[in-house]
Each structure stands twice: as structure tokens, then as C-alpha cells.
Amino acid sequence: MNAGRSLPSPVDVLPHRDPFLFVDELVDLHPGQSVVGRWTLRGDEWFFAGHFPGRPTLPGVLMLESLAQVGACGVLTEPRFAGRIPLLAGTDKVKFRRQVVPGDTLELTVELSRLGSRAGKGHGTAAVNDETACQADLLFVIADP
């Protein structure tokens, strides 16, 4: 963990804003290598009303997006990528293991395995109470603003 070191807020790193910001805080950060963030689902998020009425469930694609956003924090805090935009280019080996519902807090971990000047790769895991909810390999390109 980053003992004694202040971590940036996701809004200070990412270009995303409400209602499409799916990371509340960063809890561990090693620029260009790995990052851990959290997203707490309050239940009043816009997507729960329709997914599914009477049984609100976080859409899997938004779990993937939250992992991509956390990974982007790991990329954008690497000085050589400051001011650029990491775009999700693909996913591989995606597995959904459990439902995520209002009140859950997702612990989002991304390990960046390859980071070139124009593209990169990482592996992400979203968990609730140490139980894996989603895991995926993430592919991204790094664009100019």
C-alpha cells in the first residue's frame, strides 16, 4: 500500500465525470504497474432502475468499464502518459462470477503487464468482500487528446 503517501482522486486523473465515473477512490497506486480502487454502489445509480426492476443488479459491462477506469488511472499517473487518453480497445478471457447489488463495494485491481508508447495490456479483477465478481484481460490504446 501507499503508506504515508497521498493518492490522487480519480477525478484528478481521469477525464470521466458523473454519470460515467465508476471509481470513488484509489487505495493503492504504482504508476505504470498496478492500481487498486473502490466503487461503492449506493443503489440510486441511474442504471439500477432498469437493470432489473425489483432486483437491481450491476450490469457486467459497467464492471468492465470500472476496471478499465482504474487501469486508466495506473496509465495516466505514469509521467510519460500524462495528458493522454487511454481507450479500451478490447477484452479477453472475461468471466463474471457473482452478482453485484446496491450496497456492495467493488475492490478493483488492475495489474499492467505491458505498457508501450501507443498501447498496453493489463489484467483486472473486481471483488466484493474478497469474492471475485469479474475478471478480465484488458487491451487499450493510448491516444493523443
Which residue carries 474478497 as its cell? 130
Asked if residue 103 lies in contact with residue 63, where contact means CB atoms within 8 angstroms, the answer is no
**Candidates 16, 30, 51, 123; catalytic one:** 51
51 given a catalytic annotation: yes
In terms of Cα–Cα distance, which of 21, 27, 38 is closest to 5? Answer: 27
Q: Tell me the three state secondary structure of residue 66.
A: helix
**Whole-number Å distance between alpha carbons of 19 and 45:** 8
Q: Which residues are catalytic?
A: 51
